[in-house]
Chains A and B, each alone.
Chain A
């Protein structure tokens, strides 16, 4: 388990990251979300040790993290970085060899990952000659090349089309199913689909952290009621609920004293009903609530 404990980073008069604590559990995808400038990248760089924290610490499996531990991690920095004028296979195997792979193992590992993305034909092309999407695939391959013990990925999906995202997620699930994975993104619907856990950062502080389900259950429960032709405005007079919105025969309401079963029974008693459904609150709404 990778854990950040009270990480703080000050740049001049700006506190970019302020007392940030959270953990990334193995075998779970942890989404790291926050507006631009919330401190995601700074936090990730401190986790990886390429930036020293002003205060606070990082632990790995309960003990203070060391350089050797970090070397086992896979890292995808925010500013993508590979050798532009190096051949793909050569480049990936170089990174593998920096992690102690033998020359032969490094090359076969590089080919394996290139093969996953269908880039085996281009193994001898220069990185520069690839499309941006393909460069991004090579970048994630570089992060996975040494079978990392944890993954820290800064915006790994930005700029990818949905199919490419699916391929990358599949690769992550295959290659890093049982290690802690932290990835930042501001594509909330993507985070919602992929994440088990969530850390929400705002203004350098953690405003919410936990499993996606927990965060959802903490927030208020809403229901949508659709009547068959009838105007739904009467629901406003119903005791124990708060109506947020009415549009013709559809109402959006929050339970405020009665149970869901009571609501359903009451509505059905009044006339024909098409739907009484719990509204799964989209992540974007949780996000807006906690960062407000």
Chain B
């Protein structure tokens, strides 16, 4: 590219790179682009932080005690409580006597107190006006376990023999279900992110085409480079920007999850993030040529809304389906082009997707991209140099362009 060919006409080949370069350099300096990227980044990091904050907050309950056995029971109870609720923690606070412990309950310094029962036998849980089920269940279980063990030893009973066959174990049929919240959140983010990114960059492509028509610079461009080079340059430029932004956001999401210590969450949605980038590239390129066409059909910025309406619907429909449709419908439409970009990563985030469905989705999108680009190039060439009113789609397709002689 640096060969000094200062004389003679250009061959027109490779000029799409120059066009793409201008698209990129103009966009990355535009305030709108910087603000939009910044907002998406802040929003994404905010979600990671929010997830960490909500997900990792430990529910620490304190229980007042006056003797060693009760303190051990509370520690034991903490282990039991965690088996039902990841974030539940019980802590023992030792007080000098029963009165002090009761005062602490009334003052709210502790959530409850585990005190020797007034009757002299066993323990009682003392609360202000109630004791939370977590504390009640776990502490009761812990005390009964401790005391039973102690009694068994005292009575010389083989406790192991006594409880043999009484264990109730656990077998999880769907261990992932535990992450359902995370998976649903991630899938929603994928859908929303593609919608926002595809719409923003799509409108940017269309706007940039229309701007060239409106400012008439397109006549000079058309006299300098082949119209197809213009189209390719625009698609390439916008795709580089959109994909670049998507990769940055994906990396920010991954780094955010790592930085906040959510490695387990990364394990769950990491592959979905990777697939999202793949489907984004395909889906975006498929649509990019259609956005250029919409831009070429509008002669002024005011016409853009109408010209891009069908594309906005193409994007909004899968968004609606993604959010509302049932399982069967989602499975089928997730293999359609463009829709797949939103739905496949979402489905991957929610659970496993059979490999054949991924392959079908990718193939269908590739075919659609090739088709859209051909169709787009034809309509773009036909209409780029036409001015006046907004051109109808039927007209745009039918009329032959003033091509190079």
A interface residue numbers (CB < 8 A to B): 45, 48-53, 57-58, 64-73, 75, 77, 79-84, 86, 94-95, 97-105, 109, 142-143, 146-147, 149
Contact = CB atoms under 8 A, between A and B. Distances in A.
Interface centre among B3, B26, B224 (most CB of A within 10 A): B224
Contacts of A48: 219, 223
Interface string B2-24: 11111111111001001100100
B120 to A, nearest CB: 89
Nearest to A53: B405
A102 B223 contact: no
Contact of B12 (A45, A68, A102, A146): A68
Given A49-B404, A81-B215, A95 B220 contact: yes
Contacts of A94: 18, 22
A81 B405 contact: no
Contacts of B163: none
Contacts of B224: 71, 95, 98-99, 146
Contacts of A83: 211-212, 215, 217
B374 interface: no
B6 A109 contact: yes
Given A68-B11, A71-B10, A86 B404 contact: no
B71 interface: no
Interface residues of B, number: 38
Nearest to A69: B9
B219 A97 contact: no
A75 B219 contact: yes
Contacts of A51: 385, 402
B40 interface: no
Interface of B: 1-12, 15, 18-19, 22, 26, 211-212, 215-226, 385, 400-405
Given A50-B219, A80-B216, A98 B8 contact: no
B15 A50 contact: no
20 contacts: A52-B400, A52-B401, A57-B405, A58-B405, A66-B404, A75-B220, A75-B223, A81-B218, A81-B219, A82-B215, A99-B9, A99-B10, A100-B9, A101-B5, A102-B3, A102-B5, A103-B2, A143-B220, A146-B9, A147-B6
A226 to B, nearest CB: 52
Interface centre among A68, A80, A81, A95 (most CB of B within 10 A): A81
B225 A98 contact: yes
A197 B379 CA distance: 40
Given A72-B8, A101-B4, 7 more contacts: A52-B401, A68-B12, A75-B220, A75-B223, A80-B216, A81-B216, A142-B220
Contact of A98 (B6, B15, B401, B403): B15
B29 to A, nearest CB: 10
Contacts of B400: 52
Contacts of A45: 219
Nearest to A101: B6
A104 B73 CA distance: 79
Nearest to B402: A52
Nearest to B15: A98
A70 B217 contact: no
B228 to A, nearest CB: 11
B9 A72 contact: yes
Interface centre among B1, B10, B219, B223 (most CB of A within 10 A): B223
Contact of B223 (A49, A53, A84): A49
Contact of A65 (B19, B223, B226, B405): B405
B22 to A, nearest CB: 6
Interface centre among A57, A58, A75 (most CB of B within 10 A): A75
Given A64-B405, A98-B224, A100-B5, A71 B12 contact: yes
